[in-house]
Each structure stands twice: as structure tokens, then as C-alpha cells.
A and B are shown apart, each in its own frame.
Chain A
Amino acid sequence: MTVFIIRRLMQSAIVVFVMSFLVFGGVNIVGDPVEMMVSDEADQEERERVIKSMGLDKPWYIQYGKFVTNALQGDLGNSFVYGEPALQIIVQRMPATFELAFVSLLMSIIIGIPFGVWAGLFPERFSSKLIMSGSIVGFSLPTFWVGLMMIMVFAVMLGWLPSTGRGDTVIVFGMELSFFTPDGLSHIFLPALNLALFNTSLVIRLTRAGVREAIHMDYIKFARAKGLSYRRVIMVHLMKNIMIPVVTVLGLEFGGLIAFSVVTETVFAWPGMGKLIIESIQNLDRPIIVAYLMIIVLVFVVINLVVDILYSILDPRVRLQDVSS
């Protein structure tokens, strides 16, 4: 186990190192940072002064070394637009993104499991077929377009729900959250539903497959034979057994939610990390772009590491396979 974790940690370190190299190389060598800093009218002398002050006259490996040392000390430069440390701005936006991802995960479970169980219990009914075709459409629909249509229907035409921003927030454990105020809840509903679309379809299909498989198992027959109520058999005996794959897959999908929140946040003007990166790309705010990319790579490496370790605890075969290869 220790060997496995050490190997995974080393692999993660290599990934972070390679990504830092790519991001640094991409931003500083493919693009020209000097163009960003000096105005068009600047003469050669002015340019050279900027080049010198940014350390761009030195060879690339010294520049890269400086970038890494600064990054390790938490200094990823100051944002051109906000004039504050890039890292700080991103960390400020983080709770909004995580809140959105978490609420949408919750939503996909609340919507997905009952539908999936229904479709699994009565596969021949028209309603079940409707649910299943709905889940195919849920996979195929482009998220951003569904978001637009939601705004059009619920915010513009019906006027039920607000379409932009976070609404009122309260501070819980030092983080601003919309989830606990009625206004914030009305603001988070549409974006979370939009983000949950893909995962809801996934949960429906997984739950249905699980139910179809479990319904023929002996423990279900036994529970029925004991004379337990239909309700209890489904709610306790069936649910317990189908939840394992659903929870595993949803855990894996959490990272995907954070990535896809870029789209949803842009559509619904949700002030999280995703909206920040899109704005920064448009404003060519390099320090923010670099900081975001490094942070997101770090977040994903940590998520993958945790998932891998959890997996190897749950399923020893994974661990054995890895050591032998």
C-alpha cells in the first residue's frame, strides 16, 4: 500500500512538473509577454528596460527556475486587471465554483435515482421509455445551449427565477455561500440544474442498470419471501446495493463538474473560477491564466490521487495490478 501511494505521489509530482513546464513555455515562449506590457508607441529603449525588469534577457532555464521558485512560495504574479496577487483572486472565487458543483451533484442524485429506479422496476412502461430517451438527449445536448434555453424560458418568458449572479450570500466557515439564503437558493437553482444535466442522465442509466441486475438476486427474493413490504425491499435492500457504483462514478465525476462549471458559469454569470478564467483569456491577463491553470492541474491531481487511493482500498485488485506492471 505504501509503495502504491509513493508511486502515485511521484507520478502526480511528474504531472505537475510537466504541466508547469508546458504552461510556462506556452505563455512565455509561444506568446510574447513584452507585447503585453509595453504600449505600441514605446521605443526600443523602453522595450529593453521592460525586458530587463522582467528578466526576459536571461536564458529560458533561469527564467523557468525563477517561475518555479516563485510559484512554490505562492507568488504567481499580480493580475494586470485587478492589480492584486493572482493566487488570491482565484482563491476568493473558489467557494462559488465548489458550491455550484456540490449543489449540482446533489441535484443529479435527487433527480436521477428515483427516475432510474422507476425505469429499472418497470422497463416496459411508456414512462420508463420516456425517461430513458430523455437520458440519451441529456447526454447529447450541449450544456451551454440548454443553459441558454433555461434562461429564455424560466427567466425571460416566465420570469420565475433570476438568471445571473449569486444573489444574497451568508458566510459559513469563512466562505460566502448562496445555498443558505432564499435569494441565493433561487439564484443557484438554474445553473446547478444546468450543470447537473449530464450527471443526471448518467445516474439514471447507472441506477436503472443496477436495479435490473439486483432485482433478480436471491437477497431480494428472500426479502420478498419474508413478507417485507414492497416499499421496504426497494428502499432498504435494493437501494443499499445499487448505491455503490453510483456513488463511485459520481465521485469520479466531481472533477468533471468543476471543469464544466466554466461553461455554466459563463452562461449564468456565476462569479466563480470558470468565469474568471474566460474573462482573463479575453483580457489577456496572463498571471491569472497561469495561476488558474496551475491551480486547476493541482486540484485535479489531488482529486485523481484521492480517487486512486480510495479505489485501491475498496478493490485490492487495482493495487496488485499496478505493482506488477
Chain B
Amino acid sequence: MSENIQNPTPIEAPEEFVVTLQTPFQRFCLDFFESRVASAAFVVLVGILFIAICAPLISPQNPYDLSQVSILDAKMAPGSQSFDGWTFYLGTDGAGRDLMSAMFYGLRISLGVGVMSGMIAMCIGAAIGLAAAYFGGRIDAIIMRIVDIQLSFPAILVALILLAVLGKGVDKIIIALVIVQWAYYARTIRASALVERNKEYVEAATCLALSHNRIVFKHLFPNCLPPLIVVVTIQTAHAISLEATLSFLGVGLPISEPSLGLLIANGFDYMLSGYFWISFFPGIALLITIVSINLVGDQLRDVLNPRLDR
């Protein structure tokens, strides 16, 4: 007895107990970083975001400040030196700009356009999809018919038609990308909202005579978020790729806002003469961005899918 008091056996918490102490967010993080590929993609993505946000601070030169750019440095190979002594690690483009700096600035524009259009499209699409699912009936039928018709046309075609009509510009391409994307969000959120809508908590909220707005946005919406988050990541990657394609075709961003797609298009003119790096490196940057967003999105889908038992 006395022995027990002097040396009390330390109370070991049972393992399940520890698990329940995690917040949902911690559990989500643990699940997410289980996959090495996804963790690596996440780190790369954070790095890309950092570069995009801090582009003016970390770029070796400001490629659009004419006093820092010399035409004598044009089309220099990667690793060569300018005559005032610094190194162009990725070479220079046709106007003598440091390609690495131009890419950092381009990444900023590409990501900005992609994320901005994704967010706006998500807000519009989610509101419309929720309305369709919540009110049902005729409203639902009409909205979904419009969504169906729009999705039967390829995204690039819709964007091309819109830009042919609207003209060039950052605002125009964001409008075009929003119109292209909203239908995907509307369809996704409608599908999950249809399931959630018939659950008891919505019934309870309806019995409390809460307003439509409150039920839809405070009760229904948060429960439809997981699939939406997945679609946001995948669609953002699509938007970035689509913007690059449209800018390459010369119908997207104006020449004053050089995204990665425009950098590649500029390099195209020099490629047949053997200056491959001008469009090669921006393409690699685009590829890394898109692949890492897709990998993160894939892992999110696995983690957030309630049907996969974890």
C-alpha cells in the first residue's frame, strides 16, 4: 500500500484519448502530410506563392524599369554575365531583361489572375448552386439546364468567344475566366447541398423559422465546403493554364501585363533561331505551378472525402 503511494504508477492516457484531443484542423493536417508527394507539392506551392508575392523584393532586377535593362544584354544564354558584372542565371529575353526576374513578375500576374477569377467564380457559383439546391423545383431545373448547356462547350472555346467580343485586358480576362468557371462550382455545390438539405439540422433550422439567407449561408453552406475546397484548387490550376494559353494566343492579357503565357509567346519568336530558354523556363515554371496545385488538390480530395474511411 505504502509502496504504491511512494511510487505511483504514472497514469498513461489511452491512445484514443490523445486522438480525441486533436482539433479537426490538426487531424486534417496529419492526414494531409501523410503523403510525401503531397507534402512536397505543398512546400513547392508555398515557395511559389512566396516568390509571387515578394517578386519585387527578391528579383535581381526590375524587368520593367527601363533604366535597369540594357538592350546589349539581349538573348544571352543562361549563366552568362552582363557587362556590368552580374549573372543572368536563366539568361535574358529578346529585350535584354533578366529572365528570372521576368518570370517572378510573370508568376505574380498568372497566379493573381488565376486565384482572383477562381475566388469570384466560387462566390457566384456557390451562391447560384446553393439557391438551386435549396429552392429546388423550377429554379433548380432552369439553373441546371444553363449549367449543362455551358459545360457542353469546352472552356477554351467559351473564353475565346468572350475575349473575341470583349477585347484584351486584365479585367476582361478575369470576367471571361469567371464566366467559364462558375458552372463547375455551381454543379459541385448543388450536388452536396442536395444531400445536406434533407438532413435534420436543416429541418430544425427551418422549424425555428430562420430566414432563408441564414439557413443557406450559416447552416447549409459550411457543410458543403469540403468538396468545394477541392474544386477550388483544381479549378485554379485550370484557370492559370487557360490564362496562359489565351495570353499565348494573343487574346488574353495585354503586353503591359506579361504573365508566364506571354513570356512563352515572346520566346516563341526567338525559338526557331535556337534561343530556346526564353520560352523553356517560363514553361517549366508554369508546369511546376500547375502540377503542384493539382497534387495538393488530389490529396485534399482524398483527405476530405468522407467516404474514404480514415
Interface residues of A (CB under 8 A from B): 11, 15, 22-23, 26-27, 30-31, 136-137, 139-145, 148-149, 151-152, 155-156, 163, 255-256, 259-260, 262-263, 266-267, 277-278, 281-282, 289, 293, 296, 300, 304, 325
Contact = CB atoms under 8 A, between A and B. Distances in A.
Contact of A30 (B153, B166, B276): B166
A145 to B, nearest CB: 4
B156 A263 contact: yes
A137 B287 CA distance: 9
Interface string B267-290: 110011010100110010011001
B286 to A, nearest CB: 6
B167 A31 contact: yes
Contact of A151 (B250, B251, B271, B283): B271
B10 to A, nearest CB: 46
A138 to B, nearest CB: 11
A22 B241 CA distance: 26
Given A142-B241, A148-B271, A282 B156 contact: no
Given A15-B149, A148-B279, A143 B245 contact: yes
A148 B152 contact: no
B287 to A, nearest CB: 6
A281 B241 CA distance: 21
B154 A30 contact: no
Given A142-B286, A156-B272, A262-B156, A278 B161 contact: no
Contacts of A30: 165-166
* Category for how many chain B residues contact A: 35 or more
Q: Specify the main secondary structure of chain A where it touches its partner.
A: helix
A155 to B, nearest CB: 8
A141 B157 CA distance: 18
B239 to A, nearest CB: 12
20 contacts: A23-B161, A31-B167, A142-B245, A142-B261, A144-B248, A144-B264, A145-B244, A148-B268, A148-B283, A149-B280, A152-B280, A156-B272, A163-B272, A259-B156, A259-B160, A262-B160, A263-B245, A278-B251, A281-B163, A281-B164
Contact of B249 (A27, A136, A163, A278): A278
A32 to B, nearest CB: 11
Contacts of B241: 140, 142
B120 to A, nearest CB: 20
Contacts of A140: 237, 241, 287, 290-291, 294
B156 A145 contact: no
B157 A296 contact: yes
Interface in B32-52: none
B141 interface: yes
Given A26-B166, A259-B154, A278-B249, 12 more contacts: A11-B149, A137-B291, A144-B261, A149-B280, A156-B274, A255-B154, A256-B154, A262-B157, A262-B249, A281-B163, A289-B164, A325-B141
